[in-house]
Structure formats: C-alpha cells, structure tokens
Structure 1
Amino acid sequence: MKSGLSHRPIREWLLLLLAIVVVGGIVVPLWDIFGGLESREELARKWTPQRLTHLLLGPEQVVCYVCFVWAGLILLMRYREVLRQRTAFRMNLLPTETGARILPEDARPLLRKLDQLTGRRPYILANLIRLGLGKYAVAQSAPDVAEVVRNQADVEMSRLSATMATVHYLAWAIPAIGFVGTVRGLGGAFGAEAPTLEAFTAQAKDQLKIAFDCTLIALVLSLGLMFLLHLVQRAEETLVVDAQEYCQEHLLLRLYDPAGHPATWS
C-alpha cells in the first residue's frame, strides 16, 4: 500500500551498514597500531578448544539454548503468519476503482464476495472489513462503521500483544538462567576446599570461569532474542496499521451515508 504512505521509509539496514563501515574504519586501524601480532597470539592461547567447550557447553548454557530456539521457532511461525496475512491485501476484497462508492444495498453482496475470496480463513484485514460491512448493512451509518473498525483494530493489536507472552517470558528467563549459573559458580568458588592455597586459587578460578561464562552466553542470547522479538512485533503492528489504512481508503471513504456524516476515526 505504497500510495497511502505519508512519510518516507527510513532505510534502517542501510544505516546499519553505514555504521559498521564508519566504526570499522576507525577501529581496524587502531587495532593494527595498538593491538599487534602479540595480542592476537595471546588471544589464541587463551581461547583454546577446551576453553571454548567450557564456555559454550555448560548445563545452564544448554538450557539457555533450548529457550532461545523455542522462542525463535515461535517468532518464525508468527512472522510466517504475518506474511500469510499480507496476502489478503492482494485479494481485491473491496472495490478500488477511482470514484467507486459503497451503498447500503452493496454491503451484503460484498460480504458474500469477501467470504468467497478468503474461504473464511482468518485474516485480520478481512475481519475488519467483515465487521465494518456488517455494521453498515444494519445501521447504514458511516461513523458507526468507523467506530467498529477502530475498536476491532484495537482488539487485534491487543490479541497480538497478549499472545506474545511466552516469548516475553523466555526473553526474561534466559538471563535469569545465566544468573543461576553465575550464583552456582560463585558458590563453588567461595566454598572450594583445598589443602594448599595454590590449589584453592586454582579451584576458585575454575568456578569463577563457570560463573562468568554462564552470564556471557545468556546475555548474548538474550540480546539476539530481543532483537528478533522487536522485528516480529514491529511487523505485526505494521500489519494492523496497514489494515486500518486499507479500510480507511477503500471502505470508510467510499461509504454512502444517507445522514451525510463523514466516516472518520473518532
């Protein structure tokens, strides 16, 4: 629905690439100047395969992976549902010809056409139109239709938000699980028993690695999940807004109101 846009879309991904280029152009030369080969070799000695195994494959990390994958699959299905919902915009559910008007006696035929085109499959756009035409067939009042469409759009937005509760819980649970591992590691560090000071220090260092590894992995996964959650929520909210805009352009502004009241959002 590009014709209904009232502003220029911001190319966020292009701005991200520009930010990476700018930061990379500053950081990479500084890394070469001040980091040098010695720092790279030191990193290679620290991050051995054994160290990476302990970092990535702890029990808390595995639970975090399960939560992340579960939430990711939910978000994937919801995004696929958004794409399916958008096919309704290409079904010609309402007359789009210039100057076309919708009279009260047209409401019932349009409802039958809508059910035939959608096969009564659930579409947000079709539901808004169905309720609007149904109200128009009974009340023959354009303002009443606008109120019904607006209220149903609010209901759809609330439903989308409410059904995202599981993903919100998982986004909170991942860092919480990481902190559980942190507490376990700190408890092991302070509760370590060893015959010598050197042995105690070595055991404490190993437990502290567990603590910080759990926190690191959990926070990284949480950041990634919150970004995916943001993208899907924005896609769903944009879907409802576009459905309202479609109804405004092709339904409300084309209704004939015998009383002469304009069909506007109240």
Structure 2
Amino acid sequence: MKRNGSAEFLYQLFALIIAAILVHGVYVTVIRPQANALVQQQLEQQAEGGVYVQQRSLFVVLKDYEQEACFILLFWALAIMGYKAREILLERKSLQGSLLNLRDGTSILPEDARDLSRPLQALPESQQSLLLPRSLIKALQRFDSSKSVTDAANAVRETCATESDRLDSELAMVRYIAWAIPSIGFIGTVRGIGEALGQAHKAVEGDIAGVTVSLGVAFNSTFIALVISIVVMFFSHQLQLMQERLVLDTENYCDRNLLRFLTVRD
C-alpha cells in the first residue's frame, strides 16, 4: 500500500503528544501524590526508630521521571504499531477476494494479458495501491511485454521483495523506541547512583534514608524500562510476523490464481 508520508508523520506526532498528555496527567494526579505520601510515611516511621519493615509499593516504583518517559514511549510505539497493523489487515482483505476469476483449465496467452489487466487498472486508487493488485498488474504487464512466464513470476517476486524491504524499513522508529526505553532506564540508574553517592556522608553519620531512596530510583527505573522494552519487542515481532506473512501469502496467491494459468505458444 502506498503511504501518505505527511499523514503518517502527523499521526505519529499527535500520537506522541496525546501519549505524553495522558501519561503525565496520570502521574500528576495519581501516581506521584500517592508515592510521595507513602515515602513521607516511611521516612516518618524511620525517624521514630524501633522495628521498621519497608513496604514495596507500585506507586513508589513508578514515580520517577524516567518511568514516565518509558510509558510515554510505550504508548507511542503501540500507537505506531496499531496504525501499521491496521494497514496490514486492509491488505489481507484483498487476498480474500478473487480479482481475476479464472477457472481451472484456463490458459492465458501473452495477448490476453492486457485485457486481464484492465479491470485491475480500473480499480479505485486506494485498491490499486495494495500489494496484491500491484503484483498482478506487474506480472501481466511483464508477461505481455516479454512473452515469458518466468519473467512474469520474477515480476511478482520483485514487487513482493520491494514491499518487504519497505515494510521492514518502516519499523525503524519502533526499533528506535525499543532501544531508547532501556537507555532511559539506565539514565535513571546513573542518576540514582549519583544521588546516592552524593549523600554518602549522611549514611556514614547513620542517616541512610536519602541513600535508600536514591538507590530505589536507580533500580526501579531500570526494572520498569526493561519490562516495558519486553512488551514493545513482543508486539514489534508480532507486527513483523504479520508483514512477512502478508508478503508470502501474496506471492502464493499470485502463483495459484495467475502464474499457473500463463501459457506461451511454441
């Protein structure tokens, strides 16, 4: 399917903005207030002395800026992959129909190719841009000009190979996000360890509260980033599998419904 580059860019841009607004809104109204209240309560219990058991809370684990950035990238990646998955599903609908309506035993000669391609060329532009009609048109045009079944088959393979390369290249942004999420987590690790080292003198004096909070930032950010990265990579591989199956199924469709009917007179 031919893409409207500007429309897809605007979709990705607005998806990023909406993801940032929604995630930041949840953090400001729910996660950080709850986390700050829990941290303050724990600090007060530490200050009172006595037996103290620190309780783990999801709000505390999620509260830092690195985790917020990771969630924004997660929802942005899901929006991009959802857009591309929708396009793949539209492509697959064309495989469920019969564009040529050829019966078994039919023989297609080179002089018949032009007549067969006319209904395909008369399709609406939105349908002509799909992979299957493009592959069929290319095969018929090549068969008409070269009078060779092999050349027609090569035309199908070339069209599908080009589409496969294009689909793979369009996953570049998703791959970048999958790389960026763990990197942001490691930034949180460095920040947390740096803050902990900056409060080492307090720990020597017996006040370890600041050090433990900073180390929590370090480990929590890495933990959340790695979990989110696993989710992004899972859906990314599922999308790539859908794309590869589309290309292979298109080649098989062309072979079953067109190429096996092509005949050249001796």
**Matching residue within 105, 110, 134 for 1:104:** 110
Instruction: State the aligned residue count.
Output: 213
> Using the alignment, how far apart are the partners of 1:199 and 1:75 within structure 2?
50
Deviation of 1:53 after TM superposition, in Å, equals: 2.0
Paired residue type of 1:114: L
Partner of 1:134 in structure 2? 141
> Using the alignment, how far apart are the partners of 1:86 and 1:61 within structure 2?
37
Paired residue type of 2:140: L
RMSD: 1.8
Question: Is 1:93–1:117's contact at 8 Å kept on the other side of the alignment?
Answer: no
Deviation of 1:117 after TM superposition, in Å, equals: 3.7
Deviation of 1:141 after TM superposition, in Å, equals: 0.8
Q: Is it true that 1:168 corresponds to 2:175 in the alignment?
A: yes
Partner of 2:204 in structure 1? 197
Deviation of 1:204 after TM superposition, in Å, equals: 1.1
> Using the alignment, how far apart are the partners of 2:94 and 2:124 within structure 1?
8
Q: Deviations over 1:63-122 (max 9, x none)?
A: 111111111101001111111001111332123422222222221222111133454532
Paired residue type of 1:246: Y
Q: Deviations over 1:136-192 (max 9, x none)?
A: 111111011111111221111111111110000000000000000011001111121
Q: Deviations over 1:227-257 (max 9, x none)?
A: 0001110001000000000111111111012
Instruction: Tell me which of the two structures has the higher relative contact order, counting C-alpha pairs closer than 8 angstroms and 6 or more residues apart.
Output: 1
Equivalent residue runs for 1:13-24 within 5 Å: none
Deviation of 1:198 after TM superposition, in Å, equals: 5.2
Partner of 1:262 in structure 2? none
**Matching residue within 232, 245, 256 for 1:238:** 245
**Matching residue within 128, 149, 152 for 1:145:** 152
Q: Deviations over 1:9-32 (max 9, x none)?
A: xxxxxxxxxxxxxxxxxxxxxxxx
The TM-score normalised by the length of structure 1 is: 0.75
Paired residue type of 2:230: L
> Using the alignment, how far apart are the partners of 1:45 and 1:97 within structure 2?
74
Q: Where does structure 1 lack aligned partners over 5 or more consecutive residues?
A: 1-43, 260-266
> Using the alignment, how far apart are the partners of 1:85 and 1:196 within structure 2?
62
Question: Is 2:202–2:208's contact at 8 Å kept on the other side of the alignment?
Answer: no
Partner of 1:256 in structure 2? 263
**Matching residue within 161, 164, 167 for 1:154:** 161
Partner of 1:39 in structure 2? none
Q: Where does structure 2 lack aligned partners over 5 or more consecutive residues?
A: 1-52
Q: Deviations over 1:6-58 (max 9, x none)?
A: xxxxxxxxxxxxxxxxxxxxxxxxxxxxxxxxxxxxxx9723xxx32221121
Paired residue type of 1:72: L
Shift of the 190–196 alpha-carbon distance from structure 1 to 2, 3 Å rule, reads: closer
Shift of the 69–120 alpha-carbon distance from structure 1 to 2, 3 Å rule, reads: closer
Question: Is 1:182–1:210's contact at 8 Å kept on the other side of the alignment?
Answer: yes
How high is the sequence identity, in percent, across the aligned residues? Answer: 37
Q: Deviations over 1:183-222 (max 9, x none)?
A: 1001111121555635542211110100011001101100
Question: Is 1:192–1:200's contact at 8 Å kept on the other side of the alignment?
Answer: no
Partner of 2:55 in structure 1? 46
> Using the alignment, how far apart are the partners of 2:111 and 2:248 within structure 1?
28
